[in-house]
Structure 1
Amino acid sequence: MAKTLDLDPKKYIIIKGAQLHNLKNIDVVFPRNKLTVVTGLSGSGKSSLVFDTLYAEGQRRYVESLSSYARQFMGKLNKPKVDEIKGIAPAIAVEQKVSSSNPRSTVGTKTEVYDYLKLLYARIGKTYSPISGKQVKSDNVTDVINCLKEQYKNGDKILLLAPITVDKNDSKDRLGVLKQQGFARIFVKEKVIRIDEIEKLPSKFDLVVDRIVVRHEEDFYQRVADAIEIAFYEGKGTCSLWSLAEEKSVSFSNRFELDGMDFVVPNVHFFSFNNPFGACKKCEGFGDIIGIDPELVVPDTSRSIYDEAIAPWRGAGMRKFHKQLIENAFKFDFPIHKPYFELSEEHIQTLWEGNSYFTGINKFFKKIE
């Protein structure tokens, strides 16, 4: 056992001299990052070893790492009777406990691990478009600056543009507003036009927010960042970079959209079955759904519709649905005296779906839900 205790604590949890309750000064080694099951006779010390020794020491060490302010709310945790424990980490214990709970409770919600899982998936989650299969991503100022760094070299002349759409009736008013804001140029049909030279704005154009001569210096990026924010604002979430030399543009959007579809940014509610936003639309987060068992609806297939083969229609309050079918069966040639098992697929489908003459079984159950 001496060699065992010399194992690497990064790979093993090493317990030396456990003496609590029924434990008689035992030494134990658990491999880390693996599922270990402790079994034995009743009273052999399984819980004393796992919960009262290993878990208790892990919890105690974690509490000691907190600030003195936080520790005052935790209470004092006694050190278990053990000589030494190596390689232990902050511990979580799930105890076997019989308690009444609502149908939405799980191990994750009761131990509050689920809250951390929701937060984790909301942060690492990626959204993909069902149309193109590409990842949906919203751009920001940093993305535009990174594009300038990677795709353009010193001295390149770039136009920072913001797409504008103007109503015909507001064209002159918008022209005056742009002048007051200090903008001097617009970009139409790949040409730069001064605002002073036009009397009326076109319905669609790009506003020249800034004319950029690329310099890969920190001062340059700080100045351009302010202009990019203005471009996103004026373009209502979109802007673009137009290269005068290559005559092509690179577009950016801070909206979470792709392929003409708007997507919702991943958040914790996506992964919560207790929230309507993330719950299954069919089971509403319960994990169970109420369905219709055809064998319970028609328990005896040797009976005909006339002989009340449909069990839910036998009660006094529901006989009106049975009577409705019997009285109107001749209008669509339905064999009410033939045993259910001899009915054709077309007749069975009519019985379940119904028609203009009677209420079908499926519609009947929807009514009484």
Structure 2
Amino acid sequence: MNSMREGIGSIFIKGAREHNLKNVDVSIPRNKLVVVTGVSGSGKSSLTIDTLYAEGQRRYVESLSSYARQFLTRLNKPDVDYIKGICPAIALDQKITTRTTRSTVGSLTEIYDYMRLLFARIGKTYSPITGVEVKKHEVHDVVDHIERSEEGTKAYILVKIVIEKGKKLSDSANILLQKGFTRFLINNTVLKIEDIDLHGGEAEKKKIFTTKDEIFLLIDRIIVKKNDEENTQRIADSVSTAFYEGHGECIVRKENGSADTDIIFSNKFEADGILFEEPSPNLFSQNNPYGACKTCEGFGSIIGIDKDLVIPDKTLSVFQGAVACWKGEKMKLWLEQLVKTANKFNFPIHRPYYLLTKEHQDLLWTGNEYFWCLNDFFKMLEENAYKIQYRVMLAR
């Protein structure tokens, strides 16, 4: 094979001599689906597995710690001059595996485990209401946001006070004082908790705030200082406290700002009032019942009733026993009820089943106010499936 130019977007193999390869030079495009074909013994496996995969796996293992390397198979360096542009490699064995009802192409080829990890790590969740990406904020996200402000910027770290039903503001204030908090932010004014007469009359309290005003607990007042590790640590501690006291919510407000300019952070994986489940490998497992169809439970098929088995001989009439499951000392009660009431809705019980109109055939399954139908019968069997005789009848 002629020598090729080493492309930037390619994997370039120079002088491959593994097994029956004769000093092969080849350029393989990256991020493309590439098929290697040839007659038996032409060197397909020698090139792709024994050379390309072996080198990619070997380099990846070498990049790991000595502790991690002991758990992975180490491959020998292939007989090749050099390989450029190679990535960590995955090889799938061609083998026969046990097939189950939940088997898919991904599970049979064993690529499914890698796909689950991939989707769990890079997958993004979007709200079905507004379409915004759902994000969970960490402490460092809030700290980074604050420290991106100009030097000397003053800001408040706040938690919104929510009064539980049946409780008063004074109850919450007393608890906060015991925890060591000392200030509220009301109408953009910082007030000491003990200076507010929370037990006074309504007229006295209205001088300070009304019931419509939002009340915030002031966690900390901070000043942005660039490259100050001590100040950064203080902000991080205050944000952690805010997340805890705010039940997962932290508010950042500039000193001269208003509620309209508040930046609200949440360490919950939620958006638009919906708490989402964070992506995890188990969430993408075909054996996970989460999100599976409630009818088939994810199998893609259900066990139903075969009408041809229920009515095997269509030349018989209903009276002659066309319905196979309505026979026997106990089950014939279902048939007797239909026979006794058939004249009330003009059902031809003596006519062969195949001569019945579609409406009459459907009526056997759907029923009316005069008799219990076949659907009712099988529902009864399913509800009593814990009894062996009913399970046997359903299996038939």
- Normalising by structure 1, report the TM-score: 0.72
Q: Is the 8 A contact 1:158 1:242 kept in 2?
A: yes
Q: Is the 8 A contact 1:187 1:207 kept in 2?
A: yes
Partner of 1:212, secondary structure, is strand
Q: Distance in 1 between matches of 2:302 and 2:155?
A: 62
Q: 1:263 aligns with which of 276, 294, 302?
A: 276
1:124-173 deviation line (CA, Å, top 9, x unaligned)? 22222223333333334344445545688855564623323246467655
Q: How does 1:42-191 map to 2 (within 5 A)?
A: 46-47=44-45, 50-51=48-49, 54-56=52-54, 58-59=56-57, 77=75, 84=81, 86-87=83-84, 89-106=87-104, 108-109=106-107, 112-148=110-146, 154=152, 158=156, 160-166=158-164, 168=166, 174-187=172-185
AA partner of residue 26 (structure 2): V
- Normalising by structure 2, report the TM-score: 0.68
- The residue that corresponds to 1:361 in the other structure is 375
Q: 2:193 aligns with which of 192, 195, 201?
A: 195
Q: Distance in 2 between matches of 1:86 and 1:302?
A: 77
Q: Distance in 2 between matches of 1:85 and 1:234?
A: 59
1:26-81 deviation line (CA, Å, top 9, x unaligned)? 7363633333444455566655555455545555555566566656666675566x
Q: Distance in 2 between matches of 1:157 and 1:97?
A: 63
Partner of 1:2, secondary structure, is coil
Structure 2, unaligned stretches of length 5 or more? 206-210, 383-393
Q: Distance in 2 between matches of 1:10 and 1:341?
A: 72
Identical-pair percentage? 42
Q: Distance in 1 between matches of 2:355 and 2:149?
A: 73
Deviates more, 1:47-56 or 1:233-242: 47-56
Alignment CA distance shift 1:143-1:92 (3 Å): closer
Q: Distance in 2 between matches of 1:126 and 1:318?
A: 56
Q: 2:217 aligns with which of 204, 208, 223?
A: 208
Q: Distance in 1 between matches of 2:241 and 2:57?
A: 51
Alignment CA distance shift 1:352-1:256 (3 Å): farther
- The residue that corresponds to 2:29 in the other structure is 32
Structure 1, unaligned stretches of length 5 or more? none
Q: Is the 8 A contact 2:93 2:109 kept in 1?
A: no
- The residue that corresponds to 1:247 in the other structure is 258
1:297-345 deviation line (CA, Å, top 9, x unaligned)? 6678787655666566679986655555444444555454475686355
Deviation at 1:118, TM superposition (A): 1.7
Q: Distance in 1 between matches of 2:159 and 2:225?
A: 20
Alignment CA distance shift 1:125-1:340 (3 Å): farther
Deviation at 1:360, TM superposition (A): 3.5
Q: Distance in 2 between matches of 1:187 and 1:111?
A: 60
- The residue that corresponds to 1:14 in the other structure is 13
Deviates more, 1:330-339 or 1:126-135: 330-339
Q: Is the 8 A contact 2:185 2:216 kept in 1?
A: yes
Partner of 1:136, secondary structure, is coil
- The residue that corresponds to 1:275 in the other structure is 288
Deviation at 1:268, TM superposition (A): 1.9
Q: 1:226 aligns with which of 237, 240, 244?
A: 237
- The residue that corresponds to 1:284 in the other structure is 297
Q: Distance in 2 between matches of 1:9 and 1:313?
A: 76
1:68-121 deviation line (CA, Å, top 9, x unaligned)? 6656666675566x5556345544333332343544455544665433322221
